[in-house]
Structure 1
Amino acid sequence: MARAPVPWGVLRKPLYVQARILHMKYLFFSWLAVFVGSWIVYVEYSSYTELCRGHDCKNYICDRYRKGVIDGSACSSLCEKDTLYLGKCFTAKPNSQVYSGSWADLDAVIKCQLDDERTAAFHTPPKGTSVETFREMIYNHLKAKVGDQADLSDLATQVLSIADANRDGHISLPEARSTWALLQLNEFLLALVLQDREHTPKLLGFCGDLYIMEKIPYTPLYGITLPWILEVWIPTGLRRRMDQWFTPSWPHKAKISIGLLELVEDVFHGNFGSFLMCDVSAGTFGYNERHDFKVIDARYIVPENSFQESIRQQRCDNDEDCVYGADCVTSCDLTKHRCTTDTARPNLAKACEALKDYILRGVPSDVREELEKQLYACIALKGNTEQMEIEHSLILNNLKTLLWKKISHTKDS
């Protein structure tokens, strides 16, 4: 007996139900993606508006300029002519605003401070202060920062030269107050100390404690800049590997690395005392078209003298309380609950740590073994050994010689 044909609707119904379920899943995950994406955009936008306050910075500076409190070479361009433009925000902390931008036809980096001590800085020196008294104030400030160095008088004279922003041979009270505010900043002080070297960007101008620096085209020292939406989803391990992929050729990396080693040399017992490098990360350094090494963020390169004065006043319960920046670590004296003044690692050890993966990737085979040996000896340096200075100089010279020898015959040098 023949079977009756199965109605088409009976077969079609399960397929229809499955399609409906798939459609519902698609809608659910689509809405979930929209929700998560919107949340990320909201969080990032909120962070951006909280961090990036260039408008507030400009309003504050220009208000003080119009009132005659401050003056400088960039004030008119910022507040009257609108030829100083604040572009992309690179601010990492709300009280230290950083922007790329332009000043007339110059590409520049504009930096501005927003903190509670700012107003007080613009009240010094007081009205009626003579140029000689101001010079003495500068000298004593520099002495407190870097110690009693032989060339402090020359450095104070250089500061006075910068203070005369309009080059009329006269330092006005607003110009003096702007210069005094800038002197409180570690980055400005380092730019003064190393102005005859090529490792720091040039100071182009200032207005109050807003200052304009030469823009360094390649930053950070290595890696690739990605849109923030991609940064959120890329695992840390993969991100580190990607950073290593996007680096210059090895001879160029060698030249850049020599620049960092030369910076360490310059700030270690230099003409104006020793400086501590308290953030030796790729994001604080860069290089130009000729692969000359440049410091792009010197806020955490601090005079050792002032670091010691500050850290010894810091209360602590353990060693983790005795940290400045990312890399300057001392120990806690539990009998006094105060931080000690000797850092655990010298600048050179921290620089070698930062360079290790960078310079060993792609290194020619004939220098790899020796370079690894020197780098690991460098990383092992301690900051409080009696022989540290001798070992420091020996390893520094060995590393520079090894790298120069390998690239000196090439056009990259």
Structure 2
Amino acid sequence: CDQYKKGIISGSTCKDLCEERSLLFQHCLSSSPTQQVYSGLWRETEVIIKCGIEEALKADSHPDSVPRRDMVLFDKPTRGTSMDEFKEMLLNFLKSNLGDQPSLAALVSRIIAMADVNRDGKVSLAEAKSIWALLQLNEFLLMLSLHEKEHTSKLLGHCGDLYVTEKIPHTSLYGVDVPPFLQSLLPSIVHQIIHQWFAPAWPRRAKIAIGLLEFVEEIFHGTYGNFYICETSFKNVGYNDKYDFKMVNLRKVATEMTIRGFLKGRHCEQNVDCTYGKDCMATCDKLLKQCKSDMVQPNLAKVCGLLQDYLLYGAPLELKEELQKQLRTCMTLSGLASQMEVHHSLVLNNLKTLLWKKISNTKYS
């Protein structure tokens, strides 16, 4: 608010946050010093408030480095930058992060429209600095890139590099999660029983799973390039009250460009040395002792591993055997480019069709 009052930053929620006090912080939801996430109320609606601090995947490798809030300088673009220069800046930034996609010009227009808070057709320096700072945050960039199919949280507004998103009611595939302090104490079989006990009815799980498969489809050669889920866990995926799938944590998703940059020239002895995030593993060329850019396991295979427990429990008997067979086939998919395209689409569509046939024309669809 101090920076807003000085005219350094701007945004659609600044007035509500700093003057009218209608955007309220409630509880801190993050235990990481590098990530500030709060539940909040905005005009009587429950929201999530996130403050841009430091990237999850970068920060995780240096747990001791506690970032300082004042490190965000809002120093770009500089005074005197023309509108055309700013558009060029945005386009080059998107190219380096998402690859040279034909659709980037449309994304630039969307960013400009979002930056123009007062809708006067111009972007002020404060508006430009705020949107530029936001774009440096991986999650914000992904939210913009993956908004079309509504599998991510809706972006509701921003102020400087703070942004507000809708609250996803269920932040785990199972609808309930074992409290952190109990997780290490309970054996995995107990976790499984708790999950099964509280999980939605099977047809609802099938609907959520179809949404998750659609998300995998969307991020594989989507409008803005290729994306990888780098921590495939039921805790990063959830759903809303209509049982529509929602990706809860986009911080665990990376663009192909990011991963390529990470792998380029990286020394390795074995595949595990070429791991980005938790489970985005590429192959190691053992002769050259360098990482290659082929993923060992594609998104789809990892997601099917997640869906195996989720869908087989309580599945209709007439479907169970076929479902198990298809999930097994899916889990053996390799990330090698040669077998990607056709095979993947086939496996994915077969799974979606199998599930959809079972729940279409019922109250669950």
TM norm structure 1:
0.80
Preserved CA contact (<8 Å) 1:121 1:177:
no
Q: Alpha-carbon deviation of 1:197?
A: 1.3
Match in the other structure for 1:305 = 257
* Residues 121, 319 of structure 1: alpha-carbon distance in 2 compared, 3 angstrom cutoff: farther
The 5 Å alignment of 1:1-150 reads: 62-115=1-54, 116=67, 119=71, 122-150=74-102
Report which of the two structures shows the higher radius of gyration computed on alpha carbons: 1
Q: Alpha-carbon deviation of 1:362?
A: 0.5
Preserved CA contact (<8 Å) 2:30 2:36:
yes
| Alpha-carbon displacement from aligned partner over 1:108-155 (angstroms, at most 9, x marks no partner) | 111112245973561111111111111111111111111111111111
CA–CA distance in structure 1, aligned partners of residues 184 and 357 of structure 2: 42
Structure with greater contact order relative to length (CA < 8 Å, sep ≥ 6): 2
The 5 Å alignment of 1:195-344 reads: 195-231=147-183, 233-333=185-285, 338-344=290-296
Preserved CA contact (<8 Å) 2:298 2:333:
yes
- The two structures, once aligned, show a CA RMSD in angstroms of 2.0
Preserved CA contact (<8 Å) 2:52 2:137:
no
CA–CA distance in structure 2, aligned partners of residues 110 and 245 of structure 1: 31
CA–CA distance in structure 2, aligned partners of residues 304 and 228 of structure 1: 32
Q: 2:103 aligns with which of 148, 151, 168?
A: 151
Q: Alpha-carbon deviation of 1:409?
A: 1.9
| Alpha-carbon displacement from aligned partner over 1:32-80 (angstroms, at most 9, x marks no partner) | xxxxxxxxxxxxxxxxxxxxxxxxxxxxxx3332332211112222233
Match in the other structure for 2:62 = none
Segment drifting more, 322-331 vs 295-304: 322-331
Q: Alpha-carbon deviation of 1:194?
A: 2.4
1:163 aligns with 2:102: no
Match in the other structure for 1:43 = none
* Residues 212, 144 of structure 1: alpha-carbon distance in 2 compared, 3 angstrom cutoff: same
* Residues 374, 227 of structure 1: alpha-carbon distance in 2 compared, 3 angstrom cutoff: closer
Q: Secondary structure of 1:340's match?
A: strand
Unaligned stretches of 5+ in structure 2? 55-66
Match in the other structure for 1:407 = 359
Q: Secondary structure of 1:109's match?
A: strand
Match in the other structure for 1:379 = 331
Q: Alpha-carbon deviation of 1:379?
A: 0.4
CA–CA distance in structure 2, aligned partners of residues 301 and 228 of structure 1: 23
Segment drifting more, 227-236 vs 316-325: 227-236
CA–CA distance in structure 2, aligned partners of residues 193 and 229 of structure 1: 36
Q: Alpha-carbon deviation of 1:289?
A: 1.2
Q: Alpha-carbon deviation of 1:314?
A: 4.0
CA–CA distance in structure 2, aligned partners of residues 384 and 117 of structure 1: 41
Preserved CA contact (<8 Å) 1:185 1:299:
no
Tell me which amino acid in the other structure corresponds to 2:233. S
Q: 1:394 aligns with which of 329, 332, 346?
A: 346
CA–CA distance in structure 2, aligned partners of residues 181 and 201 of structure 1: 20
Preserved CA contact (<8 Å) 1:98 1:109:
yes
Runs of 4+ in structure 1 over 6 Å off: none
CA–CA distance in structure 1, aligned partners of residues 90 and 195 of structure 2: 43
CA–CA distance in structure 1, aligned partners of residues 219 and 270 of structure 2: 29
Preserved CA contact (<8 Å) 1:94 1:114:
no
Q: Alpha-carbon deviation of 1:284?
A: 1.1
Segment drifting more, 265-274 vs 333-342: 333-342
Q: Alpha-carbon deviation of 1:223?
A: 4.8
Q: Alpha-carbon deviation of 1:318?
A: 4.2
Match in the other structure for 1:178 = 130
Unaligned stretches of 5+ in structure 1? 1-61
Equivalent pairs, count? 352
Match in the other structure for 2:60 = none
Match in the other structure for 1:24 = none
CA–CA distance in structure 2, aligned partners of residues 75 and 114 of structure 1: 18
Q: Alpha-carbon deviation of 1:380?
A: 0.4
